[in-house]
Structure 1
Amino acid sequence: MPHRVAVLVNENSQNSKKAANVFAAVHGVPNVNIVYLNLPDSIVTGRAECTPEEFMKYIYDPAQKTVEERGLTNQVLAWVYSVDFPIRVVTSPNDRQQMSLMGVTFTRGKVPSPEMIEKGQFLSPLFAGPVKEGGPANPSRSFDILQGGLKEKMPLPSMMLGYTGENGTDMDTVLRCLQNGVLARQAGIGSRILLVKTADEKRSGPREWQYAGVKTEMAARGGSVEIYTNQPPAQNNLLGVLTGAATVNPADFGTFAPGAMAEHLTSWSAEFQKEQTKCIEWLKAGATVTAGMVTEPYNAWVKFPHARFFVHYASGCSAMESFYQSIYSPVQVLLLGDPLSQIAGLPVEIKTVGLSKEITSSLDSAFVAEAKLPMPAQILYSALLDGKQIKEADTISLIELPFKEMGDGWHEVRIIAQAFSPVTPGGFKDFPVIINKKGRSTLITGMADGASHQIAVKVAAGGKETPKEIYLLWNGRALDRKPYVVGAELSFDERLAGEGPQRIQAVSVYPDGMEVRSAPQAFAIAFKPQAE
């Protein structure tokens, strides 16, 4: 679910802001879940690598601090990195003992022994198996279910929206992957998956034992898997390709359906100064997600996606959930594309009973959620208020707003309904609510472009009382706080927000401490082309 991810943004990169803005908007990630980090160029340019100490200083510690300060600690289960982040963490002078950004995030900054990293002996508690042909395997599960079992032992999964650094893709490729991630559910699981054996025994052999079992499991889910022992003919609308080779031409396999995953099990496929074909070539060719190695991993299959990725994907897991249940030792892998891409899911209809558009008393602050799924299933209900969780998932449909703590003005209630099953499929719907305890309100009366990239926002406060100050609220950050005067105007720099879809609110602060939010103003920013 979108509220379960924190989106990390390099605030010194306009591309990072743009990709994050688009991702959050198309998937409905709450604005409060967007975290901005001040990264030095030294760790995102060239080889795009950092030390473990730099990871903690510039990424992990400040991101965790923001998550905690916003009250999201128990809500966020995974991180989504935008573009322009380091991809490799130099945990050893030996390339074979270094970690990826995904790996060091997964361990929350704790570095395993060099030998464990090199030999693939760091074992993920999320891996669903099997480790040998015909061996035991766990059912597909969502991060919600996995966290419920692991509790404080839950690692921190992550993915990156794309790689646009040295020898990387352009932004159009990143944005197309996000668009295809949204379209993936419409494409469904019917498109063909190619599992291709090659003559390259070192790269193809380690994973071939997985193919027959996955073909059987996918057939039971309505999927289509073909196993080839040589280069297959080009085909249209592929859902996936797994093969093993140092050099591949993704176009030789055909075209890709929205949501497609492709990968070719080779060393350094995410080390962008080496010769092997890079994992991003699959994204350029139309795949939505991919995986690559930032080091020399040898040919240890435990470091690469198991072919059972597609079983998890077809069962309703997101791309990120599918990757982490299919990688036994995920400490050297770079995962790129749309992490919330799903090819299977349950449509859900959600409505409320007893939720007033304007609430003036605590007596009216409780209501019932009603959800309808296309199949018989027990339904789990949870809820967010202004992006923050106020009700954990359970079968109780009664939802109570914390009326006593809420300020007057506009608020947003998100109702989340999920089937009580291992992958917890479902959906959400947002409902606007006005709180009116003291007759106070805030209104954005206009927005206009100003000089030097400034956007001016005119604000008015309603009611008999006068607020002492006002500010703009954007993605969990307060902008341009000023004493309130009639006809007040606030402003912000469009470069701070970055290109893409936006939502901003004005907030009035009263002498008694109450903060009154306006309805959000939706708009989009597109920078004017630079004159040559």
Structure 2
Amino acid sequence: MPIKKPNFITLALVLLFFTDILHAATIPLLYRPLPALTSKQLAVIVNDEDPLSIRITNYYQDIRQIPPENIIHIRFDASANALSKKEFAVLKHQVDKQTPNQVQAFVLTWLKPFRVDCMSITTAFAAGFDKAFCAKVCEETRKSPYFSSDSQKPFTDYRWRPTMTLAGRSFEDVKRLIDRGVASDFTRPQGSAYLLKTSDQARSTRAIYFPEVAKVFAGQWPVNYLEQNSLENKTDVMFYFTGLMQVPNIDKNTYLPGAIADHLTSTGGVLTGSNQMNILDWITAGATASYGAVVEPCNYPVKFSHPGILLYYYLRGNSLIEAYWKSVSEPGQGIFVGEPLARPFASPPIKQAH
């Protein structure tokens, strides 16, 4: 990972903004709830050339009761890691024609491809291909208008459809991922957040936020700021954010349903063939979502999730896809993997009296 001095103006603005939104809120988070995305607002994109994609789609549609009109069919060769701009343009046109008006977000059901030219496939489907999302190593990229937003309808408000992929190394891995997301719904788990500043300085740039996150969540959610390289034997992991090329002992913790974990590194989102730990390891270990770079992002914290902003929206009841997307200012080079409709802190729907 190329080492670049952080843009401290950008960091200061994000930190100030984050501190303001929390300190200005004197009412506890759970008393200022936000709604969660519903299955009617999510479209599932399936690759009919990929038997695994079809199998994942069928299982997910059934368990999440996705309306039939929200299943979008496309066909392409799934053997490559990346699509070209031209290939993607054809597929995006087909998707846009099939997408119902009520859809506010997408979920993909494949492992490959995970990139479109120089950007991630999840941001490409969310906002369309745009070279402004790419960078020649240490440059900032196009920002997300959805970042740290109270928006309940991102496509209606911004013409963006946040996108996540249900990916794993096997159908069994993806099924367990989906089942964890479903099991998390409305459970209000009693877990903890772990924010680790590691000995890897190049990958710990995001740790500049961590002490303040712990401070502002005191009394509302257990946030542990730790200066160490790993966790093990923790049984209450709901959030785990760190920075290392390889994170040891992740399989020695218990991740609660709906848990989110990621590590800042250069190629965590390269889902096959990377010499660094990739984010599917978090999924295998028991996390319900993760995020990582598909091309070299440099070590800009704004290209990765801001844990404080993520907690702020997730604890207020947003679905996993909403909270995770709202936490990344510049998502063009990173891929989101997980079960998008997980909503552990949402309120259950009110049953209508007959």
Same fold (TM over 0.5): yes
Q: Deviations over 1:189-218 (max 9, x none)?
A: 4211111111101101x1112223322444
Q: Which runs of 5+ in 1 are unaligned?
A: 91-97, 129-137, 164-168, 354-532
Q: Give 1:101's match in structure 2, choosing from 121, 128, 135.
A: 121
Secondary structure at the residue paired with 2:236? strand
Correspondence for 1:460: none
Calculate the TM-score normalised by the size of structure 1: 0.56
The answer to whether 1:229 aligns with 2:249 is no
The answer to whether the 8 A contact 1:245-1:265 is kept is yes
Partners of 1:212 and 1:38 in 2: how far apart? Answer: 47
Percent identity between the two aligned chains? 26
The answer to whether the 8 A contact 2:134-2:141 is kept is no
AA aligned to 2:163 is S
Partners of 1:20 and 1:175 in 2: how far apart? Answer: 10
Correspondence for 1:22: 59
1:352-391 alignment, distance < 5 Å: none
AA aligned to 1:312 is Y
1:397-412 alignment, distance < 5 Å: none
Correspondence for 2:42: 5
Partners of 1:107 and 1:232 in 2: how far apart? Answer: 36
Partners of 2:350 and 2:321 in 1: how far apart? Answer: 25
Correspondence for 2:93: 61
AA aligned to 1:51 is S
1:163-182 alignment, distance < 5 Å: 163=168, 169-182=169-182
Secondary structure at the residue paired with 2:63? helix
Secondary structure at the residue paired with 2:185? helix
Cα shift at 1:250: 4.4
The answer to whether the 8 A contact 1:217-1:311 is kept is no
Secondary structure at the residue paired with 1:235? coil
Correspondence for 2:287: 287
Correspondence for 1:492: none
Partners of 2:183 and 2:264 in 1: how far apart? Answer: 27
1:288-367 alignment, distance < 5 Å: 288-308=288-308, 309-351=310-352
The answer to whether the 8 A contact 2:190-2:236 is kept is no
Correspondence for 1:193: 193
Q: Deviations over 1:58-91 (max 9, x none)?
A: x211111122xxxx12x0111110114421111x
Partners of 1:316 and 1:214 in 2: how far apart? Answer: 19
Greater strand proportion: 1
The answer to whether the 8 A contact 1:117-1:331 is kept is no
The number of residue pairs the alignment matches comes to: 314
Partners of 1:79 and 1:38 in 2: how far apart? Answer: 17
Secondary structure at the residue paired with 1:259? strand
**Structure 1 residues 116 and 63, CA gap change in structure 2 (3 angstroms):** same
Stretch of structure 1 that moved more, 20-29 or 172-181: 20-29
Cα shift at 1:240: 1.7
Secondary structure at the residue paired with 1:21? helix
1:138-149 alignment, distance < 5 Å: 141-144=150-153, 146-147=154-155
The answer to whether the 8 A contact 1:142-1:321 is kept is no
Partners of 2:135 and 2:227 in 1: how far apart? Answer: 34
The structure that has the greater radius of gyration is 1
Partners of 2:306 and 2:294 in 1: how far apart? Answer: 18
**Structure 1 residues 53 and 143, CA gap change in structure 2 (3 angstroms):** farther
The answer to whether the 8 A contact 2:239-2:261 is kept is yes
Correspondence for 1:77: 104
Q: Give 1:45's match in structure 2, choosing from 52, 73, 79.
A: 79
Partners of 1:61 and 1:198 in 2: how far apart? Answer: 44
Q: Deviations over 1:20-59 (max 9, x none)?
A: 12222222221210011111x2xx214x2111110111x2
Q: Which runs of 5+ in 2 are unaligned?
A: 1-37
Cα shift at 1:287: 0.7
Partners of 1:240 and 1:253 in 2: how far apart? Answer: 15
Partners of 1:224 and 1:180 in 2: how far apart? Answer: 22
Secondary structure at the residue paired with 2:352? strand
**Structure 1 residues 114 and 240, CA gap change in structure 2 (3 angstroms):** closer
Q: Deviations over 1:475-506 (max 9, x none)?
A: xxxxxxxxxxxxxxxxxxxxxxxxxxxxxxxx
Correspondence for 1:111: 131
Secondary structure at the residue paired with 1:298? coil
AA aligned to 1:87 is F
Greater helix proportion: 2
Q: Give 1:36's match in structure 2, choosing from 55, 73, 98.
A: 73
AA aligned to 2:261 is A
Calculate the TM-score normalised by the size of structure 2: 0.83
Q: Give 1:157's match in structure 2, choosing from 153, 156, 162.
A: 162
